[in-house]
Amino acid sequence: MVRKLIAAMLCCYSTLSYSGFDVVTLGAKGGIQDGNLTAFMLKSNSDDNYITLDAGSLVNGLRAAVQKEAFNDLTVPPTCDYNEVGYLLNKKIKGYFISHGHLDHIAGLIISSPDDSSKTIYALPSVHQTISQHYFNWKAWPNFTNQGEGYKLNKYVLTPLSTSGWQQVKGTELKVKTFPLSHSGIESSAFLFENSAKEAVIYLGDTGPDSVENSQSLDTIWKQLAPYINARQLRGIFIESSFSNSTPDKALFGHLTPNWIQAELNKLASYTDNPQAIAGLNVVITHIKYSLKQGPDPKFVIQRELNENNPLGINFIFTEQGDRIKL
Amino acid sequence: MVRKLIAAMLCCYSTLSYSGFDVVTLGAKGGIQDGNLTAFMLKSNSDDNYITLDAGSLVNGLRAAVQKEAFNDLTVPPTCDYNEVGYLLNKKIKGYFISHGHLDHIAGLIISSPDDSSKTIYALPSVHQTISQHYFNWKAWPNFTNQGEGYKLNKYVLTPLSTSGWQQVKGTELKVKTFPLSHSGIESSAFLFENSAKEAVIYLGDTGPDSVENSQSLDTIWKQLAPYINARQLRGIFIESSFSNSTPDKALFGHLTPNWIQAELNKLASYTDNPQAIAGLNVVITHIKYSLKQGPDPKFVIQRELNENNPLGINFIFTEQGDRIKL
C-alpha cells in the first residue's frame, strides 16, 4: 500500500498543479558551432518577462525560435517598430545572467549589444571583471556598460550577484540566489530562481565534478536543493554534459559526463528525505558539443548513456535551438 | 569604332579566360546575428586550399555551406575521421586573415579553436595584440596561440603582416600585400591577394570613407589597384556597406554606405587609364547588418541604392551565408 502511494506520488511529480516555468532554448551547444552557443530564456509561467541563462547566442537563437513558432502566444503590439525578434530582444528580455566569462557564454550578448535595449547584466564580480577587461573595453568591442575602460555608453548595468542571499530580478517576479562553481580554474556560477509560487529552478554554468575539481561547490548546492525536492517545488535543473562517458577525468577540463551527472545526482538524492524523491525530476542537459567527427551525434550518445543508467528515474530533457519547453 | 571596341572590351571583363578565385560565404552580416558574422573562404581556382577573410563565423557557416551543397566538388577521403564540416575546417582552411580585433570578425575562430587544426593567424601587429590580450588569454578563452599570456597551447601561429611588400601564404599558392584601414579609431586592414596567374582580389575589412575618417588609406589602395584594373587582372573587391544611405556621416562609426562606396569607387576609376575601365568589375558587398526593425531587409535597400546610382557599371554582388561564388 505504501509502495503504491509512493509510486502514485512519484508519477505525479511533474503533473501537479504548479505555476511552473517557461524555457526557450536560444543556444543548445557547448561549442564549437558559433551561433548555437549556450543560452536559454526563462520566465515564470505567471510572468510576462524573461531573463536569459547565459547568452552565448541571442539573435540567431531568437530567429530560430520564431521560425519554430516558440512564441505563438506573443503578439508584437501594432505600434511597435520592432519585428518579432527585435521585440523579444528589446522588450521581453529584462536581464542577462552570465555564469562565467568564457566567450561561448556571452558572445551573443556582445554581438547584439549595439541594437539591444538597456538591461542588467547579472554576474559574480569575477565574471564582471572579465566582461569589463576583455570584451567591453573599446578594443574587442565598444564599452556598452556602466563600468570599465574609456567612455561608458551606459546601456548595460553590471549588477553584482552575491553568494549570501536572495536578490530580486528587476522587471520580473523572480528572485535569485547565486552559488559559485569550479570550472577548471575559472569561477563559474549556478543561479537558483524562485517564482512567486515559491517554485524553483536552478541553472548550473560549466562545472566539473567535485572530486575532480577538488571542490565542495556542487555538494553545497545539492544540500540547498534537497528541501525544494522534499516540498516538490524544484521544477528543474539545468546541468551540462559536455562530453560522453568515453572522456577520461584528466581530459574533462572542468566539465561533466553522464557518469558524473549520475554520481552528482545520487548525492543530491541522498540529502532528500526519501532518496527516491527526485524520481521524475526534470534535468535539462546543456552544453553538448557539436562534433566534427564521423559517427553518431554526441547528443544521442549522451542521451543513451544517461537513460541506460538512470536508477533515480530522472526525466532527462534534451532541447535544440529554438525549442520551447515547460518545467 | 573606338567606342564599339571599348564596349566589347567592357562586356568581356568578366568572361575572359582567367583562372579566377573561388569564394564561399561563411558569414554575410556585419551584426547582430551571431552565427552569421563576416567571414569568407577564398582560394585560387587553380589551388585546392583555402584561407579565410576574417572569421566571424566558421562552423555555423561551414554547416550552412555544406547544406547548400557549396562543396559538391569536394570528397572527404574515406580514411578521414572527420565529417564534411570537420574536413573543411581541419584540412582545407590553411590560414585566417583577420582585418581587425572586433569580436564580429573573430568570434567563429575562437569558438572552434578547441577542435581546429594547427594554423596561421595572419594580421597586423595591432590586431594580434588585441587577439592576445583580450581573447586567447585564459580568461575569455584558453591561449591556443604561440604568444601572449600563460601557458601557450601553440595551435595557432600568430604571423604578423607587413605593409611593406608581398608575403607568401603558407599552404596555398597565394601571396598577400596588406594595407592599413581607418575604422573609427581602430586599425583595420585590407588584404590584396595574387594567385599564380597574377590575378588579384582585394578584401577590405571595416572602414569608413577617407574624408570622414580624415585618412588617405582608401586612396592609397585605389592607386595600388589601378594597374590591376588596367591589366584586367583585378577579379574582385570585397567592401563593406554596413548602413544604407539614410545613415548620416556622424553616425557611421567607421563604416560605409552605398553613396560612400560609389564615391570611393569613383576615385578608383579616376586612377585607371580609362575611367570606364572598371565597368563590370565584381564588387562583393559585405557586413550588412541584420535588422530588428519592421520594414524591408536592409540588404534590399542597399542593393537598390547601389544599383540605382551605378554610372561606373560595377557588378555589385550580394551573397548569403553558405553561398559559393566565382570571381
Interchain contact, A107 vs B104, CB within 8 Å = no
- Rounded Cα–Cα distance for residues B175 and B115 (Å): 27
Residues in B touching A114 (Cβ below 8 Å): 31-32
- Rounded Cα–Cα distance for residues B65 and A261 (Å): 36
Interchain contact, B111 vs A293, CB within 8 Å = no
Interchain contact, B60 vs A108, CB within 8 Å = no
- Rounded Cα–Cα distance for residues B283 and B314 (Å): 7
For chain B (327 residues), the mean pLDDT of every run of 10, in chain order, is 48 58 97 97 96 98 98 94 98 98 98 98 98 97 97 98 97 98 97 97 98 97 97 97 96 97 97 90 97 96 96 97 98
- pLDDT at position B10 is 47
- Report the predicted TM-score, pTM, of the whole model to 2 decimal places: 0.94
- pLDDT at position A302 is 98
Considering chain A, what percentage of its residues have pLDDT values greater than 70?
94
Q: What angle do CA A48, A125, A220 make, to 5 degrees?
A: 80
User: pLDDT averaged over chain A?
Assistant: 94
- pLDDT at position B30 is 95
Q: What angle do CA A144, A150, A152 make, to 5 degrees?
A: 35
Chain A residue nearest residue B253, CA to CA? A142
Q: Tell me the residue range of the domain where A50 lies.
A: 21-326
Total count of domains within chain A: 1
Residue B98 inside a domain? The answer is yes
Interchain contact, A59 vs B140, CB within 8 Å = no
Interchain contact, B83 vs A290, CB within 8 Å = no
- pLDDT at position A275 is 74
Interchain contact, A111 vs B133, CB within 8 Å = no
Interchain contact, B32 vs A111, CB within 8 Å = yes
Q: What is the mean pLDDT of residues A48-66?
A: 98
Residue A2 inside a domain? The answer is no
Chain A residue nearest residue B183, CA to CA? A139
Residues in B touching A31 (Cβ below 8 Å): 111-112, 114-115
Q: What is the mean pLDDT of residues A63-78?
A: 96
Residues in B touching A289 (Cβ below 8 Å): 115
- Rounded Cα–Cα distance for residues B40 and B28 (Å): 8
Residue B14 inside a domain? The answer is no
Chain B residue nearest residue A102, CA to CA? B140
**Minimum-distance CB partner of A140 among B36, B57, B101:** B101
Chain A residue nearest residue B141, CA to CA? A102
Interchain contact, B32 vs A59, CB within 8 Å = yes
Residue A9 inside a domain? The answer is no
A150: domain CATH number is 3.60.15.10
Chain A residue nearest residue B58, CA to CA? A34
Interchain contact, B34 vs A31, CB within 8 Å = no
Distance from CA of A279 to the nearest CA of B (A): 36
- Give first-to-last CA distance, chain B, whole Å: 30
Considering chain A, what percentage of its residues have pLDDT values greater than 90?
92
- Rounded Cα–Cα distance for residues A215 and B267 (Å): 64
Q: Do residues A240 and A102 touch, judged by C-beta distance below 8 A?
A: no
Interchain contact, A34 vs B37, CB within 8 Å = yes
Interchain contact, A141 vs B32, CB within 8 Å = no
CB under 8 Å, gap of 24 or more: what pairs does B62-68 form? B62/B26, B62/B88, B62/B89, B63/A33, B64/B26, B64/B321, B64/B322, B65/B24, B65/B25, B65/B26, B65/B41, B65/B321, B65/B322, B65/B323, B65/B324, B66/B322, B67/B322, B68/B322, B68/B323, B68/B324
Residue A36 pLDDT > 70, yes or no? yes
- Which tens digit of pLDDT belongs to each residue from A283-321? 999 999 999 999 999 999 999 999 998 999 999 999 999
- pLDDT at position A19 is 87
- pLDDT at position A7 is 47
- pLDDT at position A189 is 98
Q: What is the mean pLDDT of residues A28-50?
A: 97
* Strands B315-318, B167-168: pairing kind: unpaired
- Which tens digit of pLDDT belongs to each residue from A126-170? 999 999 999 999 999 999 999 999 999 999 999 999 999 999 999
Distance from CA of B247 to the nearest CA of A (A): 15
Residue A173 inside a domain? The answer is yes
Distance from CA of B63 to the nearest CA of A (A): 9
Residues in A touching B57 (Cβ below 8 Å): 34-35
Chain B residue nearest residue A110, CA to CA? B103
Residue B46 inside a domain? The answer is yes
Chain B residue nearest residue A91, CA to CA? B292
Residue A11 inside a domain? The answer is no
Residue A281 pLDDT > 50, yes or no? yes
- At A176, the pLDDT band (50, 70, 90 cuts) reads very high
- pLDDT at position B18 is 65
Q: What is the mean pLDDT of residues A86-110?
A: 98
SS3 A61: helix
Distance from CA of B272 to the nearest CA of A (A): 37
Residues in A touching B289 (Cβ below 8 Å): 115
Residue B26 inside a domain? The answer is yes
% helix, strand, coil for chain A, step of 5 = 30, 25, 45
Instruction: Name residue B24's amino acid.
Output: V
Distance from CA of B137 to the nearest CA of A (A): 9
Q: Which candidate in B57, B67, B81, B111 is best for mutational testing of the A interface (most A CBs within 10 A)?
A: B111
